[in-house]
Amino acid sequence: MTRTTVPAGASLSDPVSRRSLLGRLALAGAGGIVAGAIPARSLFAFTLPPIGTPAEALKELATGNQRFVDGKSVGPHRSMARLKEVAPSQAPFAAVLACADSRVPVEILFDQGFGDMFVCRAAGNIVTPEMLASLEFGTLVLGAKAPLVLGHSACGAVKATISGDAVPGQISTLYQYIQPAVDRIAGQSKDGKAELEAAARENVRMQTRLLGRSSPVLRGLVREGKLAIVGGMYDLASGRVAMLD
Ligand SMILES: [Zn+2]
């Protein structure tokens, strides 16, 4: 298969990358591939820029989310060729602790694919021992540069913690992790929606701090400049991720 590269940050709607791609497809056709017989997307592979630092990893996350928000996702690294390429080993550039909410599909909203992101998910994006261990594995062993705690608007886990209502099964075991954030913003707003958003943001900040504080492994990587632990909020309505201070 002919592999054609689309530079990071470019999309098929950009004149330069479109010209470049069309030119390469013409060459592929001259070489015996009938472009019309193969879905266009399968004819090219996306190449990430070199990512060796936390800053470069965060830049690619921001760039990918911008492509998604702009409706210019290239859907990189989602081919069978990429699947086979990373089947023997993985080297994700970012690790994410996200909520399990079905409206927060991490690879889609950052416009990434197979092998790019080490994603851990739990309702309320909470740092449990299992999540912490997973993120240590994703960073220390696999080399991800930027563990990102990703909360989102209208989070059901945060809302349930605020209400404190009785719930069936083990659901209430989530509350203990989120309650400190709810307590911290209590009384700051009389508006229920604003209170929920503030609590979700505070929860991200607290989980992000907890990640750094409770893991000597991660702290060591941060001290060496190999890692940046960051928090962000995903807006369900716009698709945009805003990084928190
Ligand atoms: Zn949620």
Residue 200 token pair: 């979700």
Q: Is residue 148 classed as helix, strand or coil in its secondary structure?
A: strand
Torsion sign over Cα 154, 159, 162, 163: positive
- Indicate the helix (H) or strand (E) that contains 202: helix 192-214
**pLDDT tens digits for 135-186?**
999 999 999 999 999 999 999 999 999 999 999 999 999 999 999 999 999 9
Residue 3 Cα to ligand 1 midpoint, Å, equals 38
Rounded to the nearest whole angstrom, what is the distance from the C-alpha of residue 224 to the centroid of ligand 1?
A: 32
- Centre of ligand 1 to C-alpha 34, Å, is 45
In which element (H, E) is residue 219 found? helix 216-223
Given a cut of 70, the residues of the chain with pLDDT beneath it are 1-46
Prediction pTM value: 0.81
Distance 230 CA to ligand 1 centre (A): 18
CA distances (Å), origin 239, targets 30, 104, 183? 40, 9, 28
Distance between CA 78 and CA 38 in Å, rounded? Answer: 15
Domain edges within the chain: 1-47, 49-243
pLDDT of amino acid 19: 33
CA 93 to chain centre: 10
| Three-state SS letters, 56-119 | HHHHHHHHHHHHHHCCCCCCCCCCHHHHHHHCCCCCCCEEEEECCCCCCCHHHHCCCCCCCEEE
Output the pLDDT for position 45.
57
The pLDDT assigned to 46 comes to: 61
What separation in Å is there between the alpha carbon of 72 and the centre of ligand 1?
Answer: 26
Q: How far is the CA of 150 from the centre of ligand 1 (A)?
A: 9
- For ligand 1, the distance from its centroid to the CA atom of residue 196, given in whole angstroms, is 11
| Distance (Å, whole) CA 150 – CA 66 | 16
For residue 33, the one-letter residue type is I
107 Cα: distance to centroid of ligand 1 (angstroms):
16
Q: Which fold has domain 49-243?
A: Beta-carbonic Anhydrase; Chain A (3.40.1050)
List the one residue out of 110, 97, 106 whose CA is nearest residue 215: 97
pLDDT of amino acid 44: 53
Q: What is the pLDDT of residues 181-201, one digit of tens each?
A: 999 999 888 899 999 999 999
How much distance in Å is there from the Cα of 99 to the middle of ligand 1? Answer: 5
11 alpha carbon to ligand 1 midpoint, in Å? Answer: 30
Residue 193: phi, psi to the nearest 5? -70, -45
Checking 10-16 for CB contacts under 8 A at 24+ apart, the result is 10/74, 11/67, 11/70, 11/72, 11/73, 11/74, 12/72, 12/74, 13/72
Q: Output the CA 82–ligand 1 centroid distance in Å.
A: 30
